[in-house]
Amino acid sequence: MKRFFDFFVALILLIILSPILLPVVIALRFSGENKIFYRQDRIGLDNKIFTITKFASMLEDSPNMEGGSYTLKDDPRILPFGGFLRKSKINEIPQLLDILFGKMSFVGPRPQMIKVHSWYPDEYAEVFIGLRPGITGIGSIVFRDEETILLNAQSYDYCYKNEIIPAKTTLELWYKRNRSFFGDIMLMFITVWVVFFPESNVLYSIFPNIPVIDKENFGNRK
């Protein structure tokens, strides 16, 4: 049922959103580096490598520039039009094609770059066994302020590897063991909700059993 739902809804959304896509394509073609799409290898279903597709929102050479694999709030590597695309999540729309082709789902653990995936503990590999990565998911919702957390951290490396990664692992393992079709539908609605109301705590109101992550002191240690 989940695969049928993903395919059908992705197809409908691509049709509905097509009027938005053309202006975005034109804007990207004539701004920044003139790149429309950004493609990158990620870890996905059964821990195999696949190529993810997004609208270009950052400089193409961003991984080799200061900041590396981390993206910070107001990151200077973000293209002029890219900030709007990232904040509105429009940059994620091309992943609807990845869903159509069976590489991704609407809801699931967020696929990481190969380098970043190697930083996760061994038990994280369990998350992707038989499970497609998602455009959104529990980890993405809880850490929607990740860029701000890293910006304020005393050490990007320490904060990400020793605080954010363990927390995301806990969240995604919980999702893998407690996922349901209805739960996925609710997570999709919550994702839209927190785009407009980023301070909302609605996730824990609807899913009170999700592990609580205390992010208040994240980034304060080296």
Residue type, 45: L
Spacing of C-alpha 6 from chain mean position: 17
Residue 222 has pLDDT above 60, yes or no: no
- Residues across the chain: 222
pLDDT for 142:
95
- What residue spans define the domains of the chain? 2-206
**pLDDT band, residue 101 (cuts 50/70/90):** very high
pLDDT for 170:
96
Percent of the chain with pLDDT over 70: 93
Helix axes 181-196 and 2-29, enclosed angle (nearest 10): 30
pLDDT for 65:
64
pLDDT for 73:
66
pLDDT for 67:
62
pLDDT in tens, 10-24: 999 999 988 888 888
Please compute the mean of the pLDDT values over residues 129-133 and round it to a whole number.
95
pLDDT for 208:
94
Percent of the chain with pLDDT over 90: 56
Task: From 73, 94, 91, select the one nearest 32 (Cα to Cα).
Answer: 91
pLDDT in tens, 137-164: 999 999 998 888 888 888 888 999 999 9
Residues 6+ apart with CB under 8 A from 91: 54, 55, 56, 57, 82, 85
The secondary structure of residue 210, as a DSSP letter, is S
pLDDT for 95:
93
Q: How far is CA 62 from CA 72, 111, 115, in A?
A: 12, 18, 14
Residue 60 has pLDDT above 80, yes or no: no
DSSP labels, 23-75: HHHHHHHTSTTS--EEEEEEE-GGG-EEEEEEE--B-TTGGGSTTTT---TT-
Identify the bridge partners of residue 78 per DSSP, sorted by sequence position.
58
**121 in the Ramachandran plot: left (φ > 0), alpha (ψ -120 to 50) or beta?**
beta
Please compute the mean of the pLDDT values over residues 209-218 and round it to a whole number.
89
pLDDT for 190:
96
The radius of gyration computed from the CA coordinates of the chain, to the nearest angstrom, equals 17
Average pLDDT, the chain: 88
Task: From 181, 175, 100, select the one nearest 137 (Cα to Cα).
Answer: 175
pLDDT for 220:
75
Residue 72 has pLDDT above 80, yes or no: no
Residue 77 has pLDDT above 60, yes or no: yes
3-state secondary structure at position 136: strand
Residues 6+ apart with CB under 8 A from 157: none
Q: How far apart are the C-alpha atoms of 153 and 136, rounded to whole Å?
A: 24
pLDDT in tens, 158-206: 999 999 999 999 999 999 999 999 999 999 999 999 988 988 999 999 9
Please compute the mean of the pLDDT values over residues 93-100 and round it to a whole number.
94
Residue 57 has pLDDT above 60, yes or no: yes
